[in-house]
Amino acid sequence: MIDDGERLARTGIVPRNDVDRALATRFSVRRFRPDPPPEDLVGHILRVAQRAPSGTNMQPWHAHVVAGATRARLSAALRAAHEVPSEHRQPYAYYPPEFFEPYLSRRRKVGWDLYGLLGIARGESARMHAQHARNFDFFDAPVGLVFTIDQRLAIGSWLDHGMFLQSVMIAARGHGLHTCPQAAFAPFHRPIREILAIPETETVVCGMALGYADENAPENRLVSERAPLDEVVTFHR
Ligand SMILES: Cc1cc2nc3c(=O)[nH]c(=O)nc-3n(C[C@H](O)[C@H](O)[C@H](O)COP(=O)(O)O)c2cc1C
């Protein structure tokens, strides 16, 4: 892994305060150490994250914290489900049916950058499959989170839910923890529902790995790129 200083240098961001630092040093960690964060700290992070805003204060989110034997059982069920994807169905459209520019290039770039660090070459589909399967072990994180939303809610509540997700990730960062949000979980909502007793009225939005980053892992050296500001921001003067 690269340390926060090198990560900041690679992003080109000079933090001006601790909030800047938490935001700019968050990244998707894909290999965690086995030591678990204290449960009290996980609860604290979720309590702080719950200060996220939401339209008319509806707070349209629910988080399941999964550790210990339940996490092991969930991972085993997800690994098995991932081997028979045709039996599972994405519950909501996270991506468009076809990718187009500029999103297609950005998506390809981060994918190949990750595979490059892992020494996975084009065409090595078994190794790509195995890397994708690591999602279901929460990338070895000792704590996993599963986020759900009431299926009757509208798109606005999904915005709110996203703010909750980012708040969890930033609050975690403030305590030296790292995360990886995981939409890979969504298609496998059936086994997730069974193990976590999630009612049919809730949609599984995503999972999230939470823990301490493995500092020696090549995959944690990835610094994903961002578009130049003028591509995504228009200042009207
Ligand atoms: C809602 C959401 C779902 C994601 N799902 C996955 C996933 O299933 N597996 C994974 O490895 N990364 C996943 N990511 C991480 C993205 O690939 C990552 O955020 C993006 O490449 C930018 O990199 P960074 O998070 O390191 O800045 C997800 C990110 C978001 C916001």
**What are residue 65's DSSP bridge partners?**
145
The proportion of the chain whose per-residue pLDDT surpasses 70, expressed as a percent, equals 100
CA of 237 to the centre of ligand 1 (A): 34
Identify whether 237 is part of a domain: no
The two tokens of residue 80 are 């098995």
Note down the domain range covering 175.
4-9+25-225
Identify whether 167 is part of a domain: yes
Identify whether 72 is part of a domain: yes
pLDDT single digits (tens) 123-132: 999 999 999 9
CA of 28 to the centre of ligand 1 (A): 6
Identify whether 221 is part of a domain: yes
The two tokens of residue 161 are 């839910």
Identify whether 236 is part of a domain: no
Nearest 10 degrees: Cα torsion 17, 18, 19, 25: 110
Identify whether 230 is part of a domain: no
CA of 181 to the centre of ligand 1 (A): 5
pLDDT single digits (tens) 132-183: 999 999 999 999 999 999 999 999 999 999 999 999 999 999 999 999 999 9
Domain count, the chain: 1
Ligand 1 lined by 186 (C-beta under 6 Å):
no
> In angstroms, rounded to a whole number, what is the distance separating the alpha carbons of residues 178 and 4?
12
pTM for the whole thing? 0.97
Q: Given pLDDT bands bounded at 50, 70 and 90, which one contains residue 68?
A: very high
Check pLDDT > 90 for residue 2. Answer: no
Check pLDDT > 70 for residue 89. Answer: yes
Identify whether 47 is part of a domain: yes
Ligand 1 lined by 180 (C-beta under 6 Å):
yes
CATH code for the domain in which residue 167 is found: 3.40.109.10
pLDDT single digits (tens) 188-229: 999 999 999 999 999 999 999 999 999 999 999 999 999 999
All residues at 6 or more sequence positions from 222 whose CB lies less than 8 Å from its CB, including other chains? 27, 28, 30, 110, 113, 114, 117
Identify whether 235 is part of a domain: no
Check pLDDT > 80 for residue 1. Answer: no
